[in-house]
Structure 1
């Protein structure tokens, strides 16, 4: 099973997003600090501002949400999902791109983390 950790600004908001829009199930929640969700063989750890993963590094750098590293969610019907997400005002970074391996598009969660939605060819 693959595990990813995303830093988020609001754990409850992030849980709702991943559960309601991307098919994750909530496995465990640790108050407002952290939640663990699962979708197939992917476990997603959502760490809020009060989580240990959000504490400053030794040099004072404070971890924050966002960036270009991302998890890739394989989906069966990309166009349908994109239509549904757009109806729910989920922000996308690009239009659907088709390559030799399939189709993909990038969206963001409520904290700005990038998610790649991918439909294999």
Structure 2
């Protein structure tokens, strides 16, 4: 398994809500579910570890600071037709951080999961 997947850990407030969001809106499949502490979901070669406050990853650091969701780091998912995906997700009530941004490499938009973590949808430039 280590050579087949890339694993990313997201701290989440509610593991069940995160499972539902990632599987319903982004096509992830559940690999294991130990809610409320932990679950992992998969899309292609990406294994997303969803760690709740009661997981080992949620334990306080020696200085007392607790791991929490959010920040600017994000997973990056490539899509074929960004405007179509945005329309589909908006219709489903998914929250966005911004509108579509275009640059020389393509177009992107940021989604916000139920815990405030970001997911980038990206459509590469044609050419």
Find out whether 1:88 has 2:80 as its counterpart. no
Moved more, 102-111 or 73-82: 73-82
Which of 78, 83, 95 matches 2:82? Answer: 78
SS at match of 2:123: strand
- Residue 122 of structure 2 is matched in structure 1 by 118
Q: Which runs of 4+ in 1 moved over 3 A?
A: none
Corresponding residue to 1:98 among 97, 102, 114? 102
Query: How much has 1:44 moved relative to structure 2?
Result: 0.2
**Deviations, residues 70-100 of structure 1 (Å, cap 9, x unaligned):** 1101111111111111112211111101111
Report SS of the residue matched to 1:57: coil
Instruction: Name the TM-score, length of structure 2 as normaliser.
Output: 0.92
**Equivalent in the alignment of 2:68:** 64
> What is the aligned length?
121
Cα distance in 2 for partners of 1:31, 1:12 equals: 6
Stretches of structure 1 that go unaligned for 5 or more consecutive residues are none
Give the drift of 1:31.
2.9
